[in-house]
């Protein structure tokens, strides 16, 4: 899996190129993300393409979040489709992750928080 990444105001945006994230490709996803996680502290994952996410992918997201938090950074999720949001709400992960409409809005939130510090 090749992830497209770009930077915006010090925040790394990751675009997920596949339509589903499930047990068939979650290991690939983790491997691809590990490179990004090494370099960046604040990350936004753009889920525009993603139509389906299952619990194993959810577990991957959680592990990214924990890793970033431990290093003093954070993870936000953007452009989540309705069907994916159903899963997050079902397991109440919408309280654990910050879910925003666009990557730009996420970057904005990161900068606000940064300036508050």
Partner 1 sequence: MSERPIRVLLIEDDPGDYDIVREYLAAPTDERFDLEWVWTYESGVERALSGEHDAILVDYRLGAKTGAELVNEIKAAGCKTPVIFFTGAKAEEAADRAALKAGVYDYLSKELVDPAALIRSIQFAIERRKSEEAAQRLRERELEIGSRIQELLLLGKLPDNLEGASLAGFLRASQQVDGDFWGFFGHDPHRFDILVGDVMGKGVPAALLAAGAKFLFPDCIRRLVLTGKTFARLPDPEEIVAAVHYSLLTQLHELETFVTFCYARFDLEARQLVFVDAGHMPTIHYSAETGTVNWLQGDNLPIGVSAEEVYAQRCVPFGRGDLFVFYSDGITEAKSQQNELFGRERLAQLVLGNVDLNPQDMADRILQDVQEFAGRDGIRDDLTCLVVRIGKEDPAKPLAEAGLEVFSRPGELDSLRKFVDWFCVTHSQPPLTEHERTTLVLAVSEATANILNHAYWGARNRRVTVHAMAFPGEVHVDLADWGRRFDPEQVPPPAFDGSRANGFGVYIIEQCVDDHRYYRDELGRNHLRLIRRSGGKTVPAPP
Rule CB under 8 A: which residues touch partner 1?
20, 22-25, 52, 54-56, 58-60, 62-63, 65-66, 82-83, 86-87, 89-96
With 0-12 / 13-18 / 19 or more C-beta atoms within 10 angstroms meaning exposed / middle / buried, residue 116 is exposed
The Cα 97–Cα 88 span in angstroms is: 9
The residue (of 8 and 93) whose beta carbon lies closer to partner 1 is: 93
Residues in the chain, how many? 117
Output the smallest distance, CB 22 to partner 1, in A.
6
Output the smallest distance, CB 6 to partner 1, in A.
27
Q: Shortest CA distance to 74 belongs to which of 5, 25, 18, 10?
A: 10
Output the smallest distance, CB 81 to partner 1, in A.
10
The residue (of 94 and 108) whose beta carbon lies closer to partner 1 is: 94
The Cα 69–Cα 1 span in angstroms is: 25
The residue (of 61 and 110) whose beta carbon lies closer to partner 1 is: 61
Output the smallest distance, CB 47 to partner 1, in A.
15
> Cα 45 to chain center, whole Å?
3
The residue (of 8 and 87) whose beta carbon lies closer to partner 1 is: 87
Which residues share a beta bridge with 78? 46, 100
């Amino acid at each position: 899996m090749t992830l497209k990444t770009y930077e915006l105001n010090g925040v790394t945006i990751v675009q997920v190129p596949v339509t589903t994230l499930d047990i068939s490709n979650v290991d690939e996803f983790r491997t691809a993300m590990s490179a990004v996680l090494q370099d960046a502290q604040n990350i936004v994952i753009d889920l525009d393409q993603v139509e389906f996410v299952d619990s194993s992918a959810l577990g991957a997201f959680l592990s990214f979040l924990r890793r970033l938090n431990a290093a003093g950074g954070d993870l936000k999720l953007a452009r989540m489709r309705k069907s994916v949001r159903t899963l997050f709400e079902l397991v109440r992960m919408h309280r654990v992750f910050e879910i925003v409409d666009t990557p730009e809005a996420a970057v904005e939130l990161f900068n606000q928080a940064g300036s508050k510090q």
